[in-house]
Amino acid sequence: MKKHNYNIKVEWTGNEGSGTKNYKTYNRNHSILGEGKYSQIHGSSDPSFLGDKTRYNPEDLFLSSISSCHMLWYLHLCSVHNIIVTSYVDNATGIMEENTDGSGKFTSVTLHPNITITNSKHVPKAIELHTEANTMCFIANSCNFKIKHDCNISVENAL
């Protein structure tokens, strides 16, 4: 089996002088940077956990990982099946349930891709390829729940 290794640097940038003296006094801000990447992602925790609502939180990044992995597989599969995609926008949604002890987990993710293709005869196959993309997606295969899909396919004239 072929193995791939990934490295990412997460650096807490929220020490405002007293460290983690107590739960409410420290800032949740951090940066995420991959070696050789051009820019960093500015993260925090969800505002429900005293984070900065203007920054990405781990739950946002988890959901975006599922959505982008699915999209990349879907586009690959469309190209292999000669389906020309000219636009792909996903408004993914997820539900995380928090337990009384503060732990929690995602219980549901639904992808809502709006896709434009150039040939109406490919619509059935374009819809079908979401199942195959889900089967191939590395991130979806790492989840302990099924990723759902609610796709919308539009057709435009070929360029």
Question: Do 25 and 64 have their domain in common?
Answer: no
Question: Do 69 and 147 have their domain in common?
Answer: yes
Question: Do 36 and 16 have their domain in common?
Answer: yes
Q: Crossing angle, helix 58-80 and helix 123-136, to 10 degrees?
A: 130
What pLDDT does 18 receive?
79
Q: pLDDT digit string (tens) for 78-100?
A: 999 999 999 999 999 999 999 99
Question: Do 84 and 139 have their domain in common?
Answer: yes
Query: What are the residue ranges in the chain where pLDDT is below 50?
Result: none
Question: CA-based diameter of the chain, in Å?
Answer: 63
Beta carbons of 85 and 116 less than 8 angstroms apart: yes
> How many structural domains are present in the chain?
2
Question: Do 133 and 97 have their domain in common?
Answer: yes
> Against a cut of 0.75, is the pTM above it?
yes
The Cα–Cα gap between 112 and 150 comes to 5
What pLDDT does 88 receive?
93
Residue 115 sits in a domain whose CATH number is: 3.30.300.20
Query: In the chain, where do the E strands start and end?
Result: 9-12, 30-33, 41-43, 85-90, 93-98, 104-111, 113-117, 147-149, 152-155
Question: Do 70 and 138 have their domain in common?
Answer: yes
Of 12, 28, 56, the last residue of a domain is 56
What pLDDT does 108 receive?
94
What pLDDT does 14 receive?
86
What pLDDT does 86 receive?
94
What pLDDT does 20 receive?
78
Q: Which residue range is the domain that position 44 belongs to?
A: 1-56
Question: Do 44 and 6 have their domain in common?
Answer: yes
The Cα–Cα gap between 158 and 69 comes to 26
